[in-house]
Amino acid sequence: MSVLSITSLSYAYPEGGGRLAVRDVSLDIEPGEFVVLAGGSGSGKSTLLRASSGLVPHFHGGTFTGTVIVGGMDTRGHGPAEIAAVAGTLFQDPETQVVMGTVRAELAFPLENRGWSGAAVARGVEEAALALGIAGLLDRPTHELSGGELQRVALGAALAARPALVLLDEPTSQLDPVAGDELLGVLRRLNEEWGTAVVLAEHRLERCLGAADRVVALRDGAIACDADPRAFLDWAGAQAPELQTPGARLFSLAGLGPAPVAVKDARWTLRRSIPGFAARGGSAPHPGPAVQPSRAALRRARRETEHLERVRLDGVWVEHREGPVALRGASLSLAAGETVALMGRNGAGKSTLLRVAAGLQDPTRGKVSKAGRVALLLQHPGDYFVRERVGDELSDERLAAAGLAHLAERHPRDLSGGERQRLALAIVLGGDEPPSVVALDEPTRGMDRARKAGLVIELRRLAAEDIAVVVATHDAEFAAALASRTVLLGDGVVVADAGTDEVLGGGWYFATQTARILGGAPLLPEQGAEVLRELMAAGEPDGAPAPIHPEWAKP
Amino acid sequence: MTYRRRSSPLHAARAAIASLWCVAVSGVALGLGHPAVLLALFGAVLVAGRLARVGREVARGALFAVPFGVLIALVNALVVREGVTVLLALGELPPFGQIDVTLEGLTYGAVFGLQAIVVVTCFALHSAAVDPDDLLRAFRRISFRSALTAALATRMVPVLARDARRLADAQRCRPDAPAPRVAVLRAVATGALDRAADVAATLEVRGYGAARRPGRVVRPWSRHDAGFAVSLIAVVALAVAAAIWDLAPFEAYPRVSGAWNADVAIVAGALVAAALAPFADRRGIGRR
């Protein structure tokens, strides 16, 4: 029997003006299946998950037709609390998914709600904690946990009662690559060892396709493709290029096939298809040259670019009162027209660095010098809106310049994610004094590929106007597409500051999928495909290798 | 709100007992109005905070309460028409009418203010040293939903405070004139509603809507459970005895009168000793 069976489901939110968020969806998920839900923003992934957990229609209201049967329970007759016994649910934001004060209480909460005995609760908590590797956190207060830890605790709470199905709505969107990979590893283990069926909505498909048995792609609320990962990638190549993984795009541009589901898969195909790739042992990433330039080189570079410098941080420390050290003598200089990506784990100091540069936070030590204003777009664009009309947030002239004039009468909260971000960006770029630096903190969280591409174009346009652009991001693909230079922070210290090719080409976690496949730069599928084509053209049947150099990737 | 498990006897005691101990000390402060006893209790709560390794949090609570205490004293002096020792005749002051500041009114207000300070300081100690989840578990057999609401409110305070800080930061990033405060407040309130809706959805998918009355969990009494239980009984018993035998009399009206003798000192000293005695036992106080 299917653990989740959806038949002819159509649904419209009460405030949606009758627009169907999900239309005529039929889907069966078998026990132990790992299913990835793909689709752009607003395609219906979250709604489908909410319908599967019973929140639609019980919590959200709206117009609902069709049937959703979860673990034998029809959601029309059983609410989300009853469905929770067979389906655990995890949303995007870890902050609002943890309701108790300690990890132990959080894991115990769903078990206690089911009336389990004290001994059974204690056992369930211990087992869930061990399975998810959070036993060491059990007595920690939840407000002290990092985003990654919180998300694992929330997953633990969703799984504590050993449900047969777990529904996850972009659980890694707010996590750094390391924490995101760890969470996906946990899901994979749950699926393989416990036989838990997993339905995972995710934008960064390259991270999870390797674990998936099946991919369901949604478009405008309807199922556009339901196939195994390889067939899905073939379909995406022909029908929905925005859903292609970088690896699949690399192969399709290079004229190779079949589309790889994961990095290992891609390397295996390349080794078999291109003798030159096999001969250079392409599977080992380049350690790369020392990415920290020498002091002399730094001094020289500084002298050369001094007149272009827009902001400079020299040995900046930020030590929170009764708290941790966020920055430990970090130095950074941004020149006019430069595009810089700031990367590092959660808590590495990226946001703090941007806040210091923008004057939102004072350093406890060190010096900040600026030539002009630093416009800072924080992580939540919605925080910039306090008025009831978009037209009240910005003058007509600026709205028109941002291409948002047609939205003037709308409430800012009713805008789509992309529109919100454009409005917030227009707000921080406004003012009497144009900015010399634009800083964006995690602008791609929860964004689909199409919106990311739009943002890259927008930021490049700003850089072309001699504005320095700096973006704190976890998204290596986005960084590679935008930035000419990447700064890697670790524990408040700049650990690498070099060209993006160099930093992201030699990384393991902080690397694009193309770089992982090719074992170093180039970073983007377009550049990688060029290299592969050259390798294929140069490669001899007897195996004479054509070396891949980072220089080849330069546009 | 500020709870963090520390190695202290108060943290090691079960939440229900630790909570009742804090309530008992507050109750005694409200029941006994002698300034010397109140000052002793205030000192005891501060020392208890230090011994529970939450001295800073408790001191912060006390500092927060002092302006309110002073305000209570001043307002009482201005609005109460009792007392015979006039210190200041302010004459007719609309809308209050004839205002005479009396020594008795001022004294009563000061005692009342001191009581408020002790209660707030006790609450600060409670927040810092009593595990809210353990407390919820203790009370959910009585009223599950009320207990959960209280726990959630506690959990949401720092979340909403963070949201408000974020919003304030975003407003500081705007290059134009700052938005009116009313608009910012409205945005904060709307954001709080969004957060509440998210948390409500989480509660639903954790099975809260179908929650059953939990089974009774038998947990053996630790030495610290017993120690604080005896302490709170002793504190309450001392207060009752002092009230019955009038060992620490104090009246503000019509004229300030009270005993300042050995009995009062013994009552104050005994209360402090009874309250702080369980902190002497340092065995088994570490984190799990």
pLDDT digits (tens, 9 = 90+) for B127-146: 999 988 788 777 777 776 77
Same domain, A401 and A532: no
Average pLDDT over residues A374-397: 90
Q: Which residues contact A200 (CB under 8 A, 6 or more apart)?
A: A34, A35, A36, A37, A168, A171, A187, A208, A212
CB contact under 8 A, B208 and A431: no
Residues A77 and A145 in one domain: yes
- Nearest chain B residue to A142, by CA: B155
Cα separation of the two ends of chain B: 21
pLDDT, position A194: 86
Q: Which of A55-59, A116-120, A192-196, A499-503 has the lowest mean pLDDT?
A: A116-120
Least confident interval from A51-65, A172-186, A233-247, A475-489: A172-186
Q: Which of A544-548, B196-200, B251-255 has the lowest mean pLDDT?
A: A544-548
**Whether pLDDT at A543 is above 60:** no
Residue A291 maps to a domain: no
Residue B112: pLDDT band by 50, 70, 90 thresholds? very high
Instruction: Inspect the interface and report whether the beta carbons of A99 and B136 lie closer than 8 Å.
Output: no
> B208 to chain A: which residues are within 8 Å by CB?
81, 113
Residues from chain B that touch A97, judged by Cβ atoms under 8 A, are 198, 202
Helix (H) or strand (E) holding B98: strand B97-102
A290 within domain boundaries: no
Q: Is residue A198 domain-shared with residue A276, that is, in the same domain?
A: no
Q: How far apart are CA B86 and CA B25, in angstroms?
A: 34
pLDDT for A546: 43
Percentage of chain A beyond pLDDT 70 is 92
Q: Do B155 and A101 touch (CB under 8 A)?
A: yes
Total length of chain B? 288
Chains A, B: CB pairs < 8 Å: 171
Q: List the 85-144 stretch of B: residues with Cβ below 8 A of A.
A: 131-134, 136-137, 140
Phi and psi (nearest 5°) for A223? -75, 120
Run of H or E residues at A88: strand A87-90
CATH number at residue A11: 3.40.50.300
Tell which A residues from 134 to 193 touch B, by Cβ distance under 8 Å. Answer: 138-139, 141-144, 154, 157-158, 161
Task: Report residue B270's pLDDT band, with 50, 70 and 90 as the boundaries.
Answer: very high
Q: Which residue has the higher pLDDT, A30 or A91?
A: A30
**DSSP H or E stretch at residue A227:** strand A222-227
Shortest Cα–Cα distance, A80 to chain B (Å) = 6
A81/B208 CB distance under 8 A: yes
pLDDT in tens, A264-295: 999 989 988 887 776 665 543 444 444 555 66
Whether the pLDDT of residue A376 is over 90: the answer is: yes
In this complex, the residue of A95, A117, A383 whose CB is nearest that of residue B159 is: A95
pLDDT band at residue A547 using 50, 70 and 90 as cut-offs: very low
Q: How far apart are CA A171 and CA A156, in angstroms?
A: 13
Same domain, A236 and A261: no
pTM of the model: 0.78
**Taking residues B204-212, what's their average pLDDT?**
81
How many Cβ atoms are within 10 Å of B240's Cβ, its own excluded?
12
For residue A329, the SS3 value is strand
Nearest CB among B151, B190, B211 relative to A113 is that of B211
Verify that A484 and A544 share a domain, yes or no: no
Q: Measured between CA atoms, how close is B288 to chain A, in angstroms?
A: 7
Query: Which one of A127-131, B13-17, B209-213, B234-238 scores highest in mean pLDDT?
Result: B234-238
Average pLDDT (A511-536) is: 88
Residue A551 has pLDDT above 70, yes or no: no
Would residue A295 count as lying in a domain?
no
Q: Report the pLDDT averaged over residues A522-549.
A: 71
pLDDT, tens digit, 9 for 90 and up, residues A300-336: 766 666 678 899 999 999 998 767 899 999 999 999 9
Cα(B17)–Cα(A228) distance, rounded to whole angstroms?
58
Q: How does residue A555 score in pLDDT terms, banded at 50, 70 and 90?
A: very low
CB A150 within 8 Å of CB A95: yes
pLDDT of A395 higher than 60? yes
Q: Do B214 and A112 touch (CB under 8 A)?
A: yes
Q: Which of residues 33-72 of B touch A (CB under 8 A)?
A: none
Distances in Å between the alpha carbon of B150 and those of A36, A200, B1, B224?
Answer: 38, 33, 11, 25
Cβ-Cβ contacts under 8 Å, A467 against chain B: none
Look at A113 and B208 and tell me if their CB atoms are within 8 Å. yes
- Assess whether pLDDT exceeds 90 at residue A31: yes
Query: Which of B137, B152, B216 lies nearest to residue A99, judging by beta carbons?
Result: B152
Q: Name chain B contacts of A118, Cβ cutoff 8 Å.
A: 215-218
pLDDT at A39: 93
Report the residue from B132, B166, B210 with minimal CB separation from A81. B210
- Are A75 and A156 in the same domain? yes
Contact call for residues A25 and A56 (beta carbons, < 8 A):
no
The answer to whether residue A449 neighbours chain B at the CB level (below 8 Å) is no
Strand ranges (E), B189-279: 250-251, 257-258
| H or E segment to which residue A532 belongs | helix A525-538
The per-residue pLDDT for B67 is: 93
Tell me the residue length of chain A: 555
- A377:B206 CB<8 A: no
Q: Which two tokens stand for residue A377?
A: 């777009």
How far is it, in rounded angstroms, from Cα B9 to Cα B14? 10
In a domain, A264, yes or no: yes
A88-122 burial: b if 16+ Cβ within 10 Å, else e: bbbbbbbbbbbbbbbbbbbbbbbbbbbebebeebe
Alpha-carbon torsion, ordered A173, A516, A501, A180, to 10 deg: 20
Q: Tell me what pLDDT residue B222 has.
A: 94
Eight-class DSSP state of A547: -
The pLDDT value recorded for residue A86 is 93
Highest-confidence segment of A143-147, A249-253, B252-256 = A249-253
The pLDDT confidence band at residue A201, using thresholds 50, 70 and 90, is: very high
Same domain, yes or no, for A47 and A159?
A: yes
Give the percent of chain A with pLDDT over 90.
54
Pairwise CA distance, residues A425 & A421, whole Å: 6
Question: Which residue of chain B is at minimal alpha-carbon distance from A374?
Answer: B173
Same domain, A86 and A122: yes
Which among B152, B205, B287 has CB closest to A89?
B205
A539 has a pLDDT exceeding 60: yes
In this prediction, residue B273 carries a pLDDT of 97
Q: Which residue, among A377, A383, A393, A429, would best test binding to B if mutated, counting the most B CBs under 10 Å from its CB?
A: A383
Q: What are phi and psi of B281, to 5 degrees?
A: -85, 110
On whether the CB atoms of residues A150 and A98 are closer than 8 A, the answer is yes
Name the residue in chain A with its Cα closest to that of B191: A383
Same domain, A62 and A80: yes
Average pLDDT over residues A429-441: 91
Q: Which pLDDT belongs to residue B214?
A: 66
- With beta carbons less than 8 A apart as the criterion, state whether A24 and A10 touch: yes
Residues A549 and A400 both lie in one domain: no
- For A372-500, list the strands marked E by DSSP: 373-377, 435-441, 468-472, 485-490, 493-499
Q: Peptide bond preceding A57: is omega within 30 degrees of 0, i.e. cis?
A: yes
Q: Which residue of A has its CA nearest to B144?
A: A113
Q: Report the alpha-carbon distance of residue A259 to residue A513 in Å, rounded.
A: 13
Within 8 A of A158 by CB-CB distance, chain B residues are 205-206
Mutate which of A15, A53, A103, A109 to disrupt the B interface (most B C-beta within 10 Å)? A109
Count: domains in chain A: 3
Establish if A114 touches chain B: CB-CB under 8 angstroms: yes
For residue A97, being part of any structural domain is answered with yes
Tell me: pLDDT of A548 over 80.
Answer: no
Residues A325 and A232 in one domain: no
Nearest chain B residue to A60 by CA distance is B201
Positions of E strands within A481-531? 485-490, 493-499
Q: Is the pLDDT of residue A114 over 60?
A: yes
Q: Which domain holds residue A389?
A: 300-514
Does the beta carbon of A81 lie under 8 angstroms from any beta carbon of chain B? Answer: yes
How far, rounded to the nearest angstrom, does the alpha carbon of residue A393 sit from its chain's CA centroid?
29
| Among B206, B246, B83, residue whose Cα is nearest residue A98 | B206
Residues B26-52 have pLDDT tens digits of: 999 999 999 999 999 999 999 999 999
pLDDT at B268: 96
pLDDT digits (tens, 9 = 90+) for A44-76: 999 999 999 999 999 999 999 999 999 999 999
| Enclosing H/E stretch for B89 | strand B86-93
Which chain B residue's Cα is nearest to A440?
B173
| A542 close to B (CB below 8 A) | no
**Cα–Cα distance between B36 and B59 in angstroms, integer?**
20
Does A334 map to a domain? yes
- CA A161 to chain B, closest CA, distance in angstroms equals 10
State how beta strands A73-74 and A63-70 pair.
Answer: antiparallel
> Which DSSP symbol is given to A152?
H
pLDDT of residue B288: 52
Q: Is residue A440 part of a domain?
A: yes
Smallest CA-to-CA distance from A13 within A1, A28, A23 is with A23
- Residue A153, CA atoms < 13 Å, CB-side half-sphere: 33
| Residues of chain B found within 8 Å of residue A79, distances taken between Cβ atoms | 204, 209-210
Among A224-238, A499-513, B230-244, name the one with the lowest average pLDDT: A499-513
pLDDT for the residue numbered A290: 45
DSSP letter (8 states) at residue B210: G
The verdict on A109 touching B (C-beta cutoff 8 Å) is yes
Q: Output the pLDDT for position A41.
A: 83
A81 vs B contacts (CB less than 8 Å): 204-205, 207-211
Q: Measure Cα distances from B274 to A502, B41, B260 in Å.
A: 68, 11, 21
Q: Among candidates A222, A209, A188, A175, which has minimal Cα distance to A40?
A: A222
The interface residues of chain B toward chain A in range 194-213, judged by CB-CB distance below 8 A, are: 195, 198-213
Q: Is residue A116 part of a domain?
A: yes
d(CA B212, CA B144): 9
Which range is least confidently modeled, A11-20, A106-115, A162-171, B204-213? B204-213
Query: Which of B137, B184, B198 lies nearest to residue A386, judging by beta carbons?
Result: B184
- Classify A66 in phi/psi space as left (phi over 0), alpha (psi -120 to 50) or beta: left
If you average pLDDT over every residue of chain A, what do you get? 87
Q: Same domain, yes or no, for A220 and A270? A: no
Q: State yes or no: pLDDT of B117 exceeds 80.
A: yes
